[in-house]
Amino acid sequence: MQDIFVDSIMSETVVSTSLDATLQDVTTLMRDNRCSCVVVTENDIPVGIVTEFDFIRLLASKGAREVFAAIRVSGIMSRPVVTITENTSLFDALVITTARKFRHLPVVDSDGKIKGIVTLVDLAQAHFHTFEKQREIIEQSITSRTRELVEANDKLKALSFVDALMGIGNRRAMEVDLDHSHAQAARYGRPYSVALFDFDFFKNYNDTYGHLAGDYALKTVAGTIAGRIRASDRVYRYGGEEVLLLLPETELDGAEILIDRVLNAVRGVAIPHSQSPYGIVTLSCGIVSFPVKGENCSTWSDVVAIADREMYRAKQTGRNRASSMRPKNLAENLRDSLLSLEPEPEPHFA
């Protein structure tokens, strides 16, 4: 699917308006063009987008249609506008719309000027046609394992952005989401947090209970994490038994509260683990919020590396806990240093 790009499926006719347009102007544009959104531009550069949801939200808060004539579009449009480029792949566009629950993505050229718009319907249709094409190739070649069949199978696998075992986002989708989220946060000065989880004593668990039980534990814990987060949060399999949680528009204090809730929920499931000193499956977690004070985080990888470092700090200080990247006073630094010198809890053999 990497050879399918947005410019081949986007609608080149973009209904747009200016910042000083009234809501009456926008409703007229939507009616006359039979469209579900209007892009707000300045010198052809998208600065916002007005969708049906914005009108629903306005009606719910104002409760009167006559106010439309007096309200400027700049007062209700969604901003900052999330855009993609013409050479964005279909997969990347699907990840962005799915992760952020968007229905419309303006497409811009290299100068940031509007070129087209992609809707969720466009993406769904393109995804379906690609899937059907690969399925037909497989059916035609089912009796012989030709190179064409192998390539078709590889392309079918590439259509998925969900981890088959854990039922959460896979690594490829995670990288697309983090790359886009980090760029948006850096550009507009918005915060986001990352939490990286790792199972405690998981090798011992697999050695004792078997890999099928290990798979069950991975799936159960992933489902528990996904069930305790907000609608705007996204959870991905980072690799092996590590899970990454992306928390948009969230500073460190808010992230710590949510992660504490997640860790308690996992403890509450109480999956038996006789080789752990805690007797149940537990997680260690590292938390970091962007922007990171005193750190040059030019890419999302830099942010995740700090979360990874904090996760290992949590393991060094006893596991079954979270550690956060935040400035500490002298007493806290001394305490952590002393804790890191203590031996790890020995696994308890029942």
* Closest-CA residue to 287 (of 196, 224, 202): 196
Q: Which of 123, 145, 179 is the last residue of a domain?
A: 123
Within 10 angstroms of residue 130's Cβ, the number of other Cβ atoms is: 18
Six token digits for residue 79: 């901003």
pLDDT, tens only, 69-102: 667 888 778 888 889 998 888 888 888 888 887 8
Alpha helices in 159-198 (DSSP H): 171-188
Q: Which of 63, 97, 123 is the last residue of a domain?
A: 123
Burial readout 244-281 (b: 16 or more C-beta within 10 A, e: otherwise): bbbbbebebeebbebbeebbeebbeeebebebbbeebb
231 and 329 both lie in a single domain: yes
- Which residue has tokens 């948009």? 248
- Residue 214 domain-assigned? yes
- Residue 187 domain-assigned? yes
Residue 286 · residue 323 · CB < 8 Å: yes
178 and 320 both lie in a single domain: yes
261 and 177 both lie in a single domain: yes
Alpha helices in the chain (DSSP H): 23-33, 52-62, 90-100, 120-140, 147-158, 171-188, 202-209, 211-226, 252-269, 300-316, 330-341
Helices H / strands E in the chain, number of each = 11, 11
Q: How many domains does the chain have?
A: 2
Within 10 angstroms of residue 93's Cβ, the number of other Cβ atoms is: 26
d(CA 316, CA 339): 8
Asked whether the bond before 46 is cis by omega within 30 degrees of 0, the reply is no
d(CA 343, CA 236): 31
Range(s) of the domain holding residue 14: 6-123
Q: Which of 88, 123, 158 is the last residue of a domain?
A: 123
pLDDT, tens only, 5-25: 778 777 788 899 999 998 889
Q: Give pLDDT tens digits along the chain (350 positions).
A: 445 677 877 778 889 999 999 888 998 998 888 788 899 999 999 999 998 888 777 776 655 556 656 678 887 788 888 899 988 888 888 888 888 878 888 999 988 899 998 887 777 777 666 666 666 666 666 555 556 666 666 665 555 788 889 999 999 899 999 999 999 999 889 999 999 999 999 999 999 999 999 999 999 999 999 999 988 899 999 999 999 999 999 999 999 999 999 999 999 999 999 999 999 999 999 999 999 988 889 999 999 999 999 999 999 999 999 999 876 544 555 555 555 554 555 544 43
178 and 88 both lie in a single domain: no
232 and 107 both lie in a single domain: no
184 and 328 both lie in a single domain: yes
223 and 310 both lie in a single domain: yes
